């Protein structure tokens, strides 16, 4: 009787187990489908974000390569904007609510830019579509002007408008499953110090920078320094050097008391197909190597304007103790603007320097000299001098009475447009390196030798520099290639970082993403 009551239990259990297995199978199917959907969503969102980044790059490419910013003259005037607030406002009377915006037609933004051709060109360049597999990604962009200011980069005589833009781009995929991502980035140029190294060589090859024979670098700060024996007390730190190529050191105790910055990597033998950062034959770089993300580009300085003369009638030489100006305008004997210019000395009158902030650019007026050879005592005072070539090779003294003195070298027809190897450079204004500036845009040879009061900077990013004499140079040098095999010591003035500025390359940074 008992067995008869249990008939059919196995069937019921089987049905229950079958139900459980079926539920588990259905659950696994849903889980698998969910993972497929999640993977598909991730793929679509990644594709839409890639499209948005393409929009960022398209807008940036237009601003960098095609767009012309507002200026002091022309159709797009800087004075039409309120540049004292961020974001920049247009028209100038507004302080908010009138952001300067460039936008494509599908971005959801309205352009507020005064030049219609710029609005049209931006709309054409910053909106498009991409094919990603079997889907189409549409992107559109807008750009908001956060700041703009005019500066004259060091060595130039022309203003440059420096801007910061916030670019926002939307990447969207439309279909059975939609995806929409927004990417934002900052496109900017920065105002940066020019002289951030004791020495920088812009060349990219082996031996772009050579130190040997006990050559060394260190630093001081002319705005806060201690003198001992009439010269600054230097620190065995901060004498950083840089190059777009290779540093070669030879001979002990050749020492870079600082770091080496270069986009090159590695140490060892350098060759045309393998440019290493550092080739060392017993020298030292105390601060190690700094890897630059890209080459450092120093703008070529403007040619001297007005152009200095080159013919022999304007070659200026102090022939004897009595002095001889040779009839050159701006030269006087024993009198003039230099306060310590006495009988028998040459006194050279300066010209007016270009303005570095505010107002129109003023080109140099006067201060024009041809091929100047120092044989005796020559005095310079604050101002600009446009000189074709300058030579002081041991037969005289070049004295700086007041500063800043800016010497613009043309170098027309001269293989060595600047030769200061006589040790006769005397900067009597002190040890502020910005008080004497040599600027040369050509590719000729420059020769320097230090001295007890040799204080100044050299900005010649295309030149070949040779340093000799085993003496001190207080300041900094920027050249194409440089060789210091005579034990010359470059004492870097850290105060230069506060005095001379240039404009960096465009940079894209501060990326953010979000899902719309």
Residue 272 located in a structural domain:
yes
Residue 16 located in a structural domain:
no
Q: Are residues 227 and 170 in the same domain?
A: no
Q: Are residues 349 and 210 in the same domain?
A: yes
Residue 497 located in a structural domain:
yes
Sign of the dihedral through C-alpha 317, 320, 321, 323? negative
Half-sphere exposure of 27 (CA within 13 A, CB side): 6
Evaluate if residue 339 carries a pLDDT over 70: no
Quick one: pLDDT band at residue 322, thresholds 50, 70, 90?
A: very low
Residue 217 located in a structural domain:
yes
Name beta bridge partners: 460. Answer: 479
Q: How far is CA 439 from CA 405, 418, 477, 513, in A?
A: 11, 10, 10, 45
pLDDT of residue 487: 84
Question: What residue numbers bound the domain in which 124 lies?
Answer: 22-192+504-515
Separation of CA 476 from chain center: 16
Buried b (16+ CB within 10 A) or exposed e, 453-479: bbbbbbbbbbbbbbbbbebbbbbbbbb
Q: Are residues 176 and 256 in the same domain?
A: no
Angle at 449 between CA 444 and CA 451, to 5 degrees: 150
Residue 301 located in a structural domain:
yes
pLDDT of residue 424: 85
Q: Are residues 217 and 174 in the same domain?
A: no
Q: Are residues 323 and 414 in the same domain?
A: yes
pLDDT of residue 68: 94
- Report how far residue 138's alpha carbon sits from residue 117's, in angstroms, rounded to the nearest whole number: 24
**Does pTM surpass 0.75?**
yes
Residues 479 and 444 sit within 8 Å (Cβ to Cβ)? no
Tokens of 481: 């290639």
Q: Are residues 119 and 260 in the same domain?
A: no
Evaluate if residue 413 carries a pLDDT over 50: yes
Question: Is beta strand 191-193 parallel, antiparallel or unpaired with respect to 160-173?
Answer: unpaired
Evaluate if residue 6 carries a pLDDT over 90: no
Omega before residue 404 within 30° of 0, cis: yes
Q: Are residues 68 and 129 in the same domain?
A: yes
- Measured in Å, how far apart are the chain's first and last C-alpha atoms? 72
- Residue linked to tokens 């920065």: 190
Quick one: pLDDT band at residue 431, thresholds 50, 70, 90?
A: very high
Q: Are residues 359 and 484 in the same domain?
A: yes
Quick one: pLDDT band at residue 39, thresholds 50, 70, 90?
A: low
Q: Which residues contact 209 (CB under 8 A, 6 or more apart)?
A: 199, 201, 241, 243, 245, 246, 247, 248, 481, 482
Q: Are residues 409 and 442 in the same domain?
A: yes
Q: Which residues contact 275 (CB under 8 A, 6 or more apart)?
A: 204, 205, 206, 245, 246, 264
Which range is least confidently modeled, 114-123, 328-337, 371-380? 328-337
Residues 266 and 279 sit within 8 Å (Cβ to Cβ)? no
Residues 257 and 241 sit within 8 Å (Cβ to Cβ)? no
pLDDT of residue 226: 94
Which helix (H) or strand (E) covers residue 397, if one does?
A: strand 397-400
- Residue linked to tokens 């969207």: 172
Give the model confidence (pLDDT) of 209-223 as tens digits.
999 988 899 999 999
For the chain, percent of residues with pLDDT exceeding 70: 87
Residue positions counted in the chain: 516
Give the mean pLDDT of the chain: 86
- Report how far residue 446's alpha carbon sits from residue 46's, in angstroms, rounded to the nearest whole number: 55
Residues 464 and 485 sit within 8 Å (Cβ to Cβ)? no
Residue 423 located in a structural domain:
yes
Q: Are residues 142 and 267 in the same domain?
A: no
Residues 433 and 474 sit within 8 Å (Cβ to Cβ)? yes
Residue 327 located in a structural domain:
yes
Give the model confidence (pLDDT) of 74-102 as tens digits.
889 999 999 999 999 999 999 999 999 99
For the chain, percent of residues with pLDDT exceeding 90: 51
State how many domains the chain has: 2
The distance between the two most distant Cα atoms of the chain, rounded to a whole number of Å, is 148
Q: Are residues 201 and 186 in the same domain?
A: no
Evaluate if residue 311 carries a pLDDT over 50: yes
Buried b (16+ CB within 10 A) or exposed e, 481-515: bbbbbbbbbbbbbbbbbebbbbbeebeeeeeeeee
- Residue linked to tokens 């450092």: 296
Question: Is beta strand 405-409 parallel, antiparallel or unpaired with respect to 383-391?
Answer: parallel
pLDDT of residue 155: 81
Tokens of 161: 């408008």
Name beta bridge partners: 400. Answer: 380, 427
Q: Are residues 152 and 240 in the same domain?
A: no
Buried b (16+ CB within 10 A) or exposed e, 255-267: bbbbbbbbbbeeb
Residue 213 located in a structural domain:
yes
Which helix (H) or strand (E) covers residue 390, if one does?
A: strand 383-391
């Amino acid at each position: 009787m008992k067995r008869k009551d249990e008939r059919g239990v196995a069937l019921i259990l089987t049905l229950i187990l079958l139900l459980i297995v079926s539920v588990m199978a259905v659950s696994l199917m849903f889980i698998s489908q969910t993972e497929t959907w999640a993977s598909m969503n991730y793929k679509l969102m990644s594709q839409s974000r890639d499209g948005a980044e393409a929009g960022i790059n398209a807008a940036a490419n237009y601003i960098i390569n095609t767009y012309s910013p507002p200026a002091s003259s022309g159709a797009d005037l800087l004075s039409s904007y309120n540049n004292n607030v961020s974001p920049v406002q247009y028209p100038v009377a507004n302080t908010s609510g009138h952001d300067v915006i460039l936008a494509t037609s599908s971005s959801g933004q309205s352009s507020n830019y005064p030049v219609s051709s710029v609005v049209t060109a931006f709309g054409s360049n910053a909106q498009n579509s991409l094919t990603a597999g079997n889907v189409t990604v549409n992107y559109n962009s807008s750009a908001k002007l956060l700041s703009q200011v005019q500066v004259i980069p060091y060595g130039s005589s022309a203003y440059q408008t420096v801007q910061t833009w916030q670019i926002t781009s939307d990447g969207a995929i439309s279909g059975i499953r939609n995806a929409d991502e927004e990417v934002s980035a900052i496109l900017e140029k920065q105002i940066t110090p020019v002289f951030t190294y004791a020495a920088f060589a812009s060349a990219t090859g082996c031996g772009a920078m050579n130190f040997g024979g006990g050559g060394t670098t260190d630093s001081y700060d002319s705005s806060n320094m201690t003198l001992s024996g009439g010269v600054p007390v230097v620190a065995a730190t901060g004498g950083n050097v840089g190059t777009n190529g290779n540093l070669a050191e030879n001979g002990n105790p050749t020492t870079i008391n600082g770091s080496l910055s270069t986009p090159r990597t590695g140490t060892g033998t350098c060759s045309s197909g393998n440019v290493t950062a550092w080739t060392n034959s017993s020298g030292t770089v105390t601060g190690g190597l700094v890897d630059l993300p890209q080459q450092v580009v120093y703008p070529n300085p403007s040619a001297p304007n007005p152009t200095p003369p080159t013919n022999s009638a304007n070659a200026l030489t102090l022939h004897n103790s009595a002095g001889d100006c040779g009839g050159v305008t701006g030269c006087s004997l024993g009198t003039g603007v230099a306060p310590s210019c006495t009988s028998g000395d040459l006194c050279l009158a300066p010209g007016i320097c270009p303005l570095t902030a505010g107002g129109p650019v003023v080109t140099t007026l006067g201060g024009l000299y041809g091929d100047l050879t120092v044989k005796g005592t020559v005095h310079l005072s604050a101002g600009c001098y446009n000189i074709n070539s300058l030579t002081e090779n041991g037969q005289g003294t070049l004295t700086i009475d007041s500063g800043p003195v800016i010497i613009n070298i043309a170098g027309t027809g001269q293989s060595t447009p600047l030769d200061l190897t006589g040790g006769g450079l005397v900067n009597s204004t002190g040890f502020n390196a910005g008080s004497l500036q040599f600027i040369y845009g050509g590719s000729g040879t420059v020769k320097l030798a230090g001295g007890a009061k040799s204080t100044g900077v050299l900005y010649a990013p295309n030149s070949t520099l040779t340093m000799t004499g085993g003496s001190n140079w207080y300041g900094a040098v920027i050249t194409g290639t440089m060789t210091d095999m005579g034990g010359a010591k470059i004492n870097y003035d850290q105060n230069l970082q506060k005095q001379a500025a240039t404009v960096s390359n465009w940079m894209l940074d501060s990326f953010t993403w979000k899902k719309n």
